[in-house]
Amino acid sequence: MNTFAVLFVCMGNICRSPTAHGVFRHKVHQAGLAEVVRVDSAGTHNYHPGSPPDERSSRHASLRGYDLQDLRARQITELDFEAHDLILTMDWDNLALVQHQCPPQHLRKVKRFTEFCVRHSATEVSDPYYGGAQGFDHVLDLVEDASEGLLLHVQSVLSLDRRH
């Protein structure tokens, strides 16, 4: 059976990328694809190794039915470029840093997560760390939207793989 692996990347891996990780994982489970779609997250910087998501991210996610409690921060590694089919960054800075680190043969895997948005036209998921509650809600709005588009993409890739 073919599998598909997605890695979400932000700066410190405590706000945006674990939110995306938890939301997309939830949608994958709801779609019955947990056995074939692997979800992970990482940061471009090693600011918070082993730390749980920011409590504000966890609290806002929990209010919408997403559980982030098992997630722990880590930095992106060289192995991630090989192991994942898509590496989705949260903003332009993350994109540039990941592209700089990425071996040339894997550059096609690196994209901005917002490229999968269905309803929103945002080009990035802004960092809510230094803002108020509305920033965390906005992150969730964008992440839920992009996760829906991403799920459709992954389902189409998996169904194409099954036909070959």
**80-116 burial, b for 16+ CB within 10 Å, e for fewer?**
bbeebbbbbbbbeebbebbeebbeeebeebbebbbeb
Q: 102: domain CATH number?
A: 3.40.50.2300
Cα separation, 124 vs 94, whole angstroms:
10
Reported as a single tens digit per residue, the pLDDT across 2-28 is 899 999 999 999 999 999 999 999 999
Read off the pLDDT band of 106 (50, 70, 90). Answer: very high
Percent residues over pLDDT 70 in the chain: 97
Reported as a single tens digit per residue, the pLDDT across 23-77 is 999 999 999 999 999 999 999 999 999 999 999 999 999 999 999 999 999 999 9
Cα separation, 102 vs 89, whole angstroms:
13
Mean pLDDT of 79-92: 98
The answer to whether 55 and 18 have CB atoms below 8 angstroms apart is no
Predicted local confidence at residue 163, as pLDDT: 57
Predicted local confidence at residue 70, as pLDDT: 98
Indicate if the alpha-carbon torsion angle 149, 66, 38, 109 is positive or negative. positive
Q: Active-site positions?
A: 10, 16, 127
Looking up tokens 């598909």 gives 4
Cα separation, 143 vs 124, whole angstroms:
10
What is the domain range of residue 72? 4-163
User: Strands, DSSP E only, in 93-138?
Assistant: 110-112
Number of domains in the chain: 1
- For residues 140 and 162, the model is more confident at 140
